[in-house]
Amino acid sequence: MTPAVLALIVANVAIYFLQVNADPALVAQFQLWPLGKFFHPAFGGYVGFEPWQLVTSAFLHDPRSIAHLLLNMFALFMFGRDVEAAMGTRRFVWLYGASVLAGSLAQLVVVTATIDQGVGPTVGASGGVFGVLLAFAVMFPKRRMIVFPIPVPMPAWVAVTGFAVIELVSGVYRTQSGVAHFAHLGGMVGAAIVLLWLSRRRGPPRAPSV
């Protein structure tokens, strides 16, 4: 287990158990809301966007189902360790942070533009996780992956490209309600920007030889 991945998993799990036992009105202040102020009876007052929500929402998950947390942490565990080992902890933290911010900003734009379809918060580490997934495909493009329900191993770059296409189509046509598809895509964009910046400064990060 690499340091940053371990710290992120511990932080997300700890915050989840704090979240499920906390006052929902307090938790609402750290979820990502659209621009503006809205009266929300479930939280006993007004809620709306605040700048810190771009980061804090990435450490909150759906309190109604622990599966949301477990899936994100499992993906971070599976792919984050190799990415952090290859690029170093400091670079990995930059990449994860940029993915979170870009994912949150993308989701903020989308939910604000479609606010007439209902006001609700966004939570989850998926923006950061999808950024890590993109970095994994860039650094380990030929690593074989099995993506459920397809039983055939495929190169990482093929699988991640497929994820991106599915997220884009699902986001445009809204085939899965309640899933922040544009946060996922934004996370990939944030990671791509960091990887491009790093490649221009010191050369692209390379996977260790085996």
Residues noted as catalytic: 126, 184
- Measured over all CA atoms, what is the biggest interatomic distance in the chain, rounded to whole angstroms? 57
70 strand-pairing partners? none
Q: Which two tokens mark 98?
A: 């940029």
**Coarse DSSP helix, strand, coil percentages of the chain, rounded to the nearest 5 percent:** 65, 5, 30
ω into 149 cis (within 30 of 0): yes
| HSE toward the beta carbon, residue 89, CA cutoff 13 A | 8
Closest residue by Cα to residue 9 from 91, 129, 182: 129
Q: Which two tokens mark 75?
A: 């993906």
